[in-house]
Structure 1
Amino acid sequence: MENKIFELELNTLYAISQKFGQVLDLDHTLMSILEILSRNLTMERGTVTLKEKDTGLLKIIASHGLDPLEQKRGIYHPGEGITGAIFETAQPFAIPDIGKEPLFLNRTQARNLTKNSIAFIGVPIVLNNEPIGVLSVDRLFGPEIDFKEDIRFLTIVATLMAQFVQLNRQVERREEHLLTENRSLRAEVSAKYNHFFAVGVSPAMQTLNKMIRKVAPSRASVLLLGESGTGKTLTARIIHELSQRRRNPFAKVNCAALPDNLIESELFGHEKGAFTGATQMKKGRLEEADTGTIFLDEIGELPMPVQAKLLRFLQERDFERLGSTQTRKVDVRIIAATNIDLNKAVEEGRFRSDLFYRLNVFPISIPPLRRRKADLPLLVDYFIAKTAREYGRQFFFSAECMEILAAYNWPGNVRELENLIERVAIMAESNQIQTSMLPAYLFNSNSQQATYETQPSAPLSAATPTTSRLEVMEREALLESLARNDWVQQKAAREIGLTLRQMGYRVKKFKLDKIIRENKQRNVQFKDLST
């Protein structure tokens, strides 16, 4: 008899252990365990009661032999009835006949207490030395088996159930953390996106905005061209966030940061033993980015052998890991970036022409800062506000400082400007930044000359002969914003972050009243003709 019971218990525990893979659906998994107990043993009725986190009540979350209404009635306070007593004392409880037990509340109304004697056995479900619930059954074995055997085996099952609960809670906490992190990243990207274009009133940045919005919803590969520090990585992230793949992975690979012998493994992955040091299988970034986007920064530095393999992937959308003959397919959008002239690299034989044409489906040029000087005052304000939050101090540049910043060539572009403002925030001894606090390289006359040579000539004739270059830039930014907003001052002020009073002051300062009136009249005439 003992051997038969032992075999039944072993088979039952094995069947229960197979349910660990279903831990995400805890209620269903616990109900499946009760069904196993009923199928393998003689249990006719059983319940799993867990303490609710919010209310502190004990509630039946899984049952066997109860209908949905009966299960719904199974709610207890800790210490209430037998279930509450088992939970509060963390001790098992066995009753030969529940009809004679005053503590038995029959809250579910599932048992007929007057018909036949019904046994009841309950054990606590304990996790980390704290009761979290109660497992109760009528009987696991027949009346010929001592209650102690029921309690012993039921305690083992309750221990397994506690592990199911713990795993489920760990997964829930991780999912909650990932969701929070995901929301935080999306909010960060959204904020960066808004600031990226809020400080981009220049025509070059408006053109960039339109191109990003055009290409983002498509599946096309994108090639980002621009100098270092112009914002290519942020642009790639914005394209991903504006696409239908935004909820899927975004992987980044810096092709210049990895040695030639590792870049292929980084992109395509490798099998165990594929090369010295490959002690285990590793997925490549292409596999990790499946259904999402992969950003290949500094694509011009990709070694020629890897260029050939990347070209094949772009053509066939399949690849093999290093050391494997199994062909794998993934759905990944490619966004590449470079700060070198790929046409020249193709001519010099450093970059495959066929790969260049594959990547160059939709090229986007990110303008350098010297070509978007109208954005400089807004960029300075943005980085000062950001730095002020980080360092806890407010400061501003004098008019003379702004003149020097406007004349500088900015070879490091927006990144250089941000770094400069952070340096000033650390070194500044007063709230107003004077020219003496600026680094010496900003005063290099060659840089200033280069700026004037590369900048399109400003409409100086529209301003007074004594107008500073910074004022010319401010005037241009105002006119561009007014033009985009049908010459309505309120709309333009809102776009560039000014109050209506501040906008009125600038309109008067730069004598723009006549220009605004003429363009408004022209818009009215055009609408009349079109109707």
Structure 2
Amino acid sequence: MENKIFELELKTLYAISQKIGGVLDLDSTLMSILEILSRKLSMERGTITLKDRDTGLLRIIASHGLDPVAQKRGIYQPGEGVTGSIFETAQPFAVPDIGKEPLFLNRTQARTLTKNSLAFIGVPILLNNEPAGVLSVDRLFGPEVDFKEDIRFLTIVAALMAQFVQLNRKVERREAHLLTENRSLRAEVSAKYNHFFAVGVSPVMQRLKKMIRKVAPSRASVLLLGESGTGKTLTARIVHELSHRRRNPFAKVNCAALPDNLIESELFGHEKGAFTGATQLKKGRLEEADSGTVFLDEVGELPMPVQAKLLRFLQEREFERLGSTQTRKVDVRIIAATNIDLDLAVDEGRFRSDLFYRLNVFPIAIPPLCRRKEDLPLLVDYFIEKTAREYGRRFRFSSECMDVLSAYHWPGNVRELENLIERVAIMAETSCIPTSMLPAYLFNSRGPAGYDLPPATTASRLELMERKTLLESLARNNWVQQKAAREIGLTLRQMGYRVKKFKLDGIIRENKQRNMQFKNLSN
């Protein structure tokens, strides 16, 4: 007999364990477990009661042998009846004859209380040693088996149910957190989107808005061109939010921020053991963003081997993870951005021409701030309001200050303007900011350290502006490349590349020496 019961219990527990995949649909999973108890053992009726986290009442959420009306009647206060007592004491309870037990309320009215009525057993469902609910059933085994065996087995089943409940609640909390986070991100994007269009009254911004609205609903790849600080990341996010993919992921990959040996793994993923340090499987951003958008920032910095793999993905929409031969397909829209001249990079052999043509389906040039001076007063007001919320300090620029700001060429673009206003907000001692509070470089029309840009001979206008931006940032940061790179949003590697590209080593060295001489004289 014992061997037969043991075998039945094992088969029942195995069948119950197979239901773990249904944790996302808790009610139906628990219902299935009760059906297994009925099918495998002798249980005629069973109920699972959980505490309602809002009301504190105990409610039957799954049952077997009860009709829906009877199940709805199964509501108890903690401590009320047999179910409430089991919950409150966190101890099992066995009733040999429900017809003779005054605590048995028969609230569901599913049982007929007569002499020789069925036996009833209940055990608590415990989460972290605290009662979360009650599992109650008619006897599982026949009268020849001791009640203790029913209780022992039900306690095991209740422990499994507790794991289901705990996992389900974790999933619910995670989903609630993601929903809140998603709403927050959408609200943030919406606010930035409204700001982006509200302060764009200049003709170039009006044209930009029109292009964004045209391309957003399409499937076309978009290439965003523009200097650092113009808002390429925000523009990419707006294109995504205006597309049919807006409810799906938006993944950003900074192609210059990762070492060459990791960028391929970041994009395409890798299998466990694919390389030293690959201790577990990792999905790439393309795979994670399936049905959504991937934004490749600084795409001009991609290593050539990764460019070839990206080209294949754009052509065939398929790829393999590092260390895998399995071909995967995903539906992802690519938006790329660069602040370098990709035409020149193609001519110099640093960027594949076929990849450039694939990315350049719909190019959008983000205008620098110097070409949208009409927007400057609105941008200033916007950032003043923003810093007022953050620092609790309101101020305004004098008309003389606004003249200086309007005359300045803003090589760092909107990001530089935002940083300047934040600095003023920190330093401001009066509500009206005089010109004396503005940094000295704003008054220098010739560029940092007197270095004017060379005339446009063979270099493109974009390159000239880029060189000018580098020089001015270096001057503001005492010719320290790391600080200048941080100010204009570049990595140190990118800065080093541009210093070599524009042959600025001599200028940097000369100015550092000049600063050192000045420092020695001062001492």
What TM-score, normalized by structure 2, do the two folds share? 0.84
Q: Is the 8 A contact 1:317 1:331 kept in 2?
A: yes
What CA distance in whole angstroms lies between the structure 1 residues aligned with 2:268 and 2:55?
Answer: 50
Say whether the 8 Å CA contact 1:409–1:447 is kept in structure 2.
Answer: no
| Cα shift readout 1:389-436 (whole Å, capped 9, x = no counterpart) | 111111111110000000000000000000111111112222211111
Q: 1:238: which partner in 2? A: 238
Match in the other structure for 2:43: 43
1:275 Cα offset (Å): 2.5
Q: What RMSD, in angstroms, separates the aligned Cα atoms of the two structures?
A: 1.9
Aligned residue in 1 for 2:100: 100
SS where residue 121 of structure 1 aligns? strand
Q: d(CA) in 1 for partners of 2:22 and 2:338?
A: 46
2:357 match: secondary structure? helix
Q: Which structure 2 segments of 5+ residues have no match? A: 457-523
Residue aligned with 1:236, SS:
helix
The amino acid across from 1:364 in the alignment is I
Match of 1:49, as an amino acid? Answer: T
Q: Deviations over 1:350-403 (max 9, x none)?
A: 221111111111111101000100000000000111111111111111110000
Distance 2:263 2:96 in 1: 71
Q: Tell me, in whole angstroms, the C-alpha distance in 2 between the residues paired with 1:379 and 1:249.
A: 30
Q: Distance in 2 between matches of 1:167 and 1:276?
A: 34
The answer on 1:228 being equivalent to 2:261 is no
Mapping of 1:12-411 within 5 angstroms? Answer: 12-114=12-114, 116-411=116-411
Which amino acid in structure 2 is aligned with residue 276 of structure 1?
A: T
Letter in 2 for 1:286: L
Deviation, 1:79, is 2.1
SS across alignment from 1:63: strand
* CA deviation after TM superposition for structure 1 residue 102, in Å: 2.1
Counterpart residue identity of residue 60, structure 2: I
CA distance in 2 between counterparts of 1:272 and 1:58 reads 46
- CA–CA distance in 2 between the matches of 1:413 and 1:317? 36
Quote the offset at 1:146 in angstroms: 1.0
Letter in 2 for 1:378: L
CA, structure 1 residues 249+102, in 2 after alignment: closer, same or farther (shift >3 Å)? same
Shift of 1:122: 1.1
User: Aligned with 2:246: secondary structure?
Assistant: coil
In the other structure, the counterpart of 2:483 is: none
Amino acid at match of 1:414: V
Whichever residue aligns with residue 207 of structure 2, its letter is T
In 2, Cα distance between equivalents of 1:411 and 1:374: 16
Q: Which moved more, 1:397-406 or 1:152-161?
A: 152-161
- Trace 1:385-464 onto structure 2 (pairs within 5 A): 385-446=385-446
How far apart are 1:238 and its partner, in Å? Answer: 0.7
Distance, in Å, in 2 between the alignment partners of 1:117 and 1:213 is 73
Equivalent in the alignment of 1:5: 5
Q: Is the 8 A contact 1:271 1:323 kept in 2?
A: yes
Change in CA separation of 1:52 and 1:255 when aligned onto 2, cut-off 3 Å? same
Separation in structure 1 between the aligned mates of residue 46 and residue 412 of structure 2, nearest angstrom: 71
Equivalent-residue separation in structure 2 for 1:341 and 1:405 (angstroms): 28
| Divergent runs of 4+, >6 A | 448-451
Aligned to 1:495: none
CA deviations on 1:452-495 (whole Å, 9 max, x unpaired) are x99xxxxxxxxxxxxxxxxxxxxxxxxxxxxxxxxxxxxxxxxx
SS of corresponding position for 1:446:
coil
Retained in 2: the 8 A contact 1:408–1:447?
A: no
Q: Post-superposition shift, 1:115?
A: 6.7
Contact 1:126–1:133, Cα closer than 8 Å, also in 2? yes
Structure-2 separation of matches of 1:102 and 1:276: 68
Q: After superposition, what is the alpha-carbon deviation per residue over 1:92-147, rounded to whole angstroms, capped at 9, x for unaligned?
A: 21111111222222111111223742111111222222222111111011010111
1:489-531 Cα distance to aligned partner (Å, 9 max, x none): xxxxxxxxxxxxxxxxxxxxxxxxxxxxxxxxxxxxxxxxxxx
Does the Cα contact within 8 Å between 2:226 and 2:366 map onto a contact in 1?
A: yes
Decide whether aligned partners of structure 1 residues 381 and 129 sit closer, same or farther in structure 2, where only a CA change above 3 A counts: same
Aligned mates of 2:276, 2:60 — CA distance in 1: 56
1:171 counterpart SS class:
helix
1:193: Cα distance to partner?
A: 0.4
TM-aligned CA deviation for residue 225 of structure 1: 0.6
**Contact preservation (8 Å) 2:47, 2:60:** yes
In 2, the alpha carbon distance for the partners of 1:357 and 1:103 equals: 79
Task: Please say if residues 60 and 72 of structure 1, whose CA atoms lie closer than 8 Å, have aligned partners that are also in contact.
Answer: yes
Shift of 1:446: 2.1
User: If the length of structure 1 is used for normalisation, what is the TM-score?
Assistant: 0.83
Q: For residues 48 and 278 of structure 1, what CA distance do their matches in structure 2 show?
A: 44
Within 2, Cα distance between the matches of 1:400 and 1:268?
53
Give the letter for the 1:183 counterpart. R
Change (3 A) 1:275 1:78: closer
Deviations 1:293-337 (A, max 9, x none): 000111111122221111111111111122222211111100000
Q: Secondary structure at the match of 1:131?
A: strand
Kindly tell me the number of residue pairs found equivalent between the two proteins. 453
8 Å CA contact 1:273, 1:279 repeated in 2:
yes
Identity among equivalent positions (%) equals 87
Contact 2:99 2:115 (8 Å CA) reproduced = no
Equivalent position SS for 2:108: coil
Within 1, Cα distance between the matches of 2:379 and 2:147?
78
SS of 1:445 mapped into structure 2? coil
Separation in 2, partners of 1:250, 1:90: 47
Inter-partner Cα distance in structure 1 for 2:275 and 2:66: 60
